[in-house]
Amino acid sequence: MSLTRHFLIRTYGCQMNVHDSEKVANLLHHDGYASASSENDADVLIINTCSIREKAEHRLYSDLGLLRAWKEERSGRVLGVAGCVAQQEGDAILRRFPFVDFAFGPHNLRLVPEMIGAAQQGQRSVRTDEAADLARFDLPERHPAFEGQTPGRAYLTVMEGCDMFCSFCVVPNTRGREISRPAEGIVAEAISLAGRGVREVTLLGQTVNAYGRHDLRRGRAEIAGTVAFAELLGRLDAIEGIERVRYTSPHPIFYDEALIAAHGKLASLCPHVHLPVQSGSDAVLERMRRRYRADDYRALVERLRAARPDLAITTDLIVGFPGETEEDFRRTLALVRDVGFVDSFSFKYSPRPHTSAAELEDVVSPAEAQARLEEIQTLQRGLTLDYHRSRVGQTVPVLVEGGSRRGAGQVSGRDPHHRVVNFSVPREPGPRPGALASLRIVEATPHSLIGELQDSTSPGRAAVKPERRRADGTGRSAAVEG
């Protein structure tokens, strides 16, 4: 029998959480662990939690209810809880669930091997200290075990934390204060990723385009090693092998001229932004403490589209925020229609602990909130389908992700606009995951595009950059405009 210990991480929540799980997995690989194919094979199980809405938090408690049996099934098993619920409720989780060995927050990923070691000695631990230093960005390079997991793509942390304190949101409490990583480390990581065949990086931060803002304002950017966000994008664009750059999630108030212009200039910068708006009513936006008005958002969209006419914009929306009237909600519908979002994630407002909106009165009834949610989702479905139809006939480079949900012989990937494109492979071998395939869009469905394979390039540094600058300097891909 092999002595290698196996781990499994179950992840909920946003891309930051997905990437935190990757970082923990990386640490464990470096520590000699192997990943388990199922919970049955796992010696160590970590649940990486999300606390954004009540439902997300409850998922942890229902999971834990079932995991007592897992823990007791085999001696020596270790169970840990990570993420935003752990940060918020660390001690309480250990008190309530005596079979949980440890809990730790997003600032303490590096301590996982140590906490597992302690658990094996019978010691339980909670690590939720907030680290204000940059040490948490210093993690080991990607272990070879990562190769092939998300071929051609990688997340790249540029900043962490959030200082915005929108009145509905737990994130400033769970992720702590904003801190930006020095540009040099980000660029070095991107170069290393490119060397391993990564073509697309997604820059991560809770308010990613606030990158470096505190350093800049305090006149200490040079000491901190940060630069303006647009400048960072320019440096990444210059890296050989990095063909696509995305960033998520930006906040509308942190767009400056340079960042808007970058969308027209940088060939690697994808023509998609996920730009959460939350509401189309100024009164609601004010109570949400979003710091912009609906017309500011509209104006920003116009400027972005002036820089990059084919930009696809997606968003997040909250319905049923305290005090939201029918009139407020109509304003949100109007904004969704005016902007013509390519897609949106809409949520019913959920009161969260230690947030100021939780104190607001005049709550919207659950039935009303549900009706609004359905109305906005119906509107969005129509807009998404319209957008998909407008894309039929174009030829686009698609970064292949793998088998499609549509079944055998069906492959799926994403185009520069971040839309899912499904296609069938006429003969094996088709383009491998991580390859860029040229596809002609032949059909639109409500959730994705259907394409026909034209040709493909295989992954690797030697590959040409089909999306690089055009001779006319517009930086746009001819295929996308075609």
Residue numbers 343-402 binding ligand SAH by CB under 6 A? 347, 349-350, 352
* Residue 251 in the binding site for ligand SF4 (CB under 6 A): yes
CB of 175 to ligand F3S, least distance (A): 5
| Binds 172: which of ligand F3S, ligand SF4, ligand SAH, none (CB < 5-8 Å by kind) | ligand SF4
Among 17, 128, 249, 344, binds ligand SAH (CB under 6 A): 249
Half-sphere exposure of 318 (CA within 13 A, CB side): 25
Q: Which of 133, 233, 249 is nearest to 180 (CA)?
A: 133
Among 11, 49, 87, 206, binds ligand SF4 (CB under 6 A): 206
What dihedral angle (degrees, nearest 10) is formed by the CA atoms of 102, 137, 83, 208?
Answer: 170
Contact status, residue 319 vs residue 366, Cβ threshold 8 Å? no
Q: Which of 219, 159, 161 is nearest to 186 (CA)?
A: 159
Q: Is 346 helix (H, G, I), strand (E, B) or coil?
A: strand
* Residue 165 in the binding site for ligand SF4 (CB under 6 A): yes
Q: Which of 143, 146, 117, 139 is nearest to 43 (CA)?
A: 117
Site of tokens 């990583």: 181
Give φ, ψ of 164 to 5 degrees: -85, -30
CB of 371 to ligand F3S, least distance (A): 25
Residue 151 or 276: the one with the smaller Cβ distance to ligand SF4 is 276
Contact status, residue 320 vs residue 364, Cβ threshold 8 Å? yes
Among 79, 119, 171, 179, binds ligand SF4 (CB under 6 A): 171
Is residue 451 within a helix (H) or strand (E), and if so which, with residue range?
Answer: strand 449-457
Residue 205 or 459: the one with the smaller Cβ distance to ligand SF4 is 205
* Residue 419 in the binding site for ligand SAH (CB under 6 A): no
Q: Which of 281, 383, 265 is nearest to 325 (CA)?
A: 281
Part in contact with ligand F3S (CB under 6 A); list of ranges 46-54, 361-369, 370-378, 469-477:
46-54
Part in contact with ligand SAH (CB under 6 A); list of ranges 77-85, 95-103, 165-173, 260-268:
165-173
- List CB contacts of 369: < 8 A, sequence separation 6 or more: 319, 320, 348, 349
* Residue 112 in the binding site for ligand SF4 (CB under 6 A): no
Residue numbers 19-78 binding ligand SF4 by CB under 6 A? none
Residue 206 or 268: the one with the smaller Cβ distance to ligand F3S is 206
Part in contact with ligand F3S (CB under 6 A); list of ranges 49-57, 70-78, 224-232, 364-372:
49-57
Q: Which of 145, 110, 166, 157 is nearest to 14 (CA)?
A: 157
Q: How far is CA 77 from the centre of its chain?
A: 31
Residue 168 or 329: the one with the smaller Cβ distance to ligand SAH is 168
* Residue 170 in the binding site for ligand F3S (CB under 6 A): yes
Part in contact with ligand F3S (CB under 6 A); list of ranges 48-56, 231-239, 314-322, 413-421:
48-56
What whole-number distance in Å separates Cα of residue 478 and Cα of residue 482? Answer: 6
What whole-number distance in Å separates Cα of residue 477 and Cα of residue 13? Answer: 33
| Binds 63: which of ligand SAH, ligand SF4, ligand F3S, none (CB < 5-8 Å by kind) | none
* Residue 345 in the binding site for ligand SF4 (CB under 6 A): no
Among 8, 25, 171, 230, binds ligand F3S (CB under 6 A): 171
What whole-number distance in Å separates Cα of residue 94 and Cα of residue 8? Answer: 20
Per-position x/- string for 65-104, each x denoting binding to ligand F3S as judged by CB under 6 A, each - no binding:
------------------xx--------------------
The token duo for 428 is: 């094996």
Q: Is 339 helix (H, G, I), strand (E, B) or coil?
A: helix
- Site for ligand F3S, rule CB under 6 A: 13-14, 16-17, 50-52, 83-84, 170-171, 174-175
- Site for ligand SF4, rule CB under 6 A: 162, 164-166, 169, 171-172, 206-207, 251
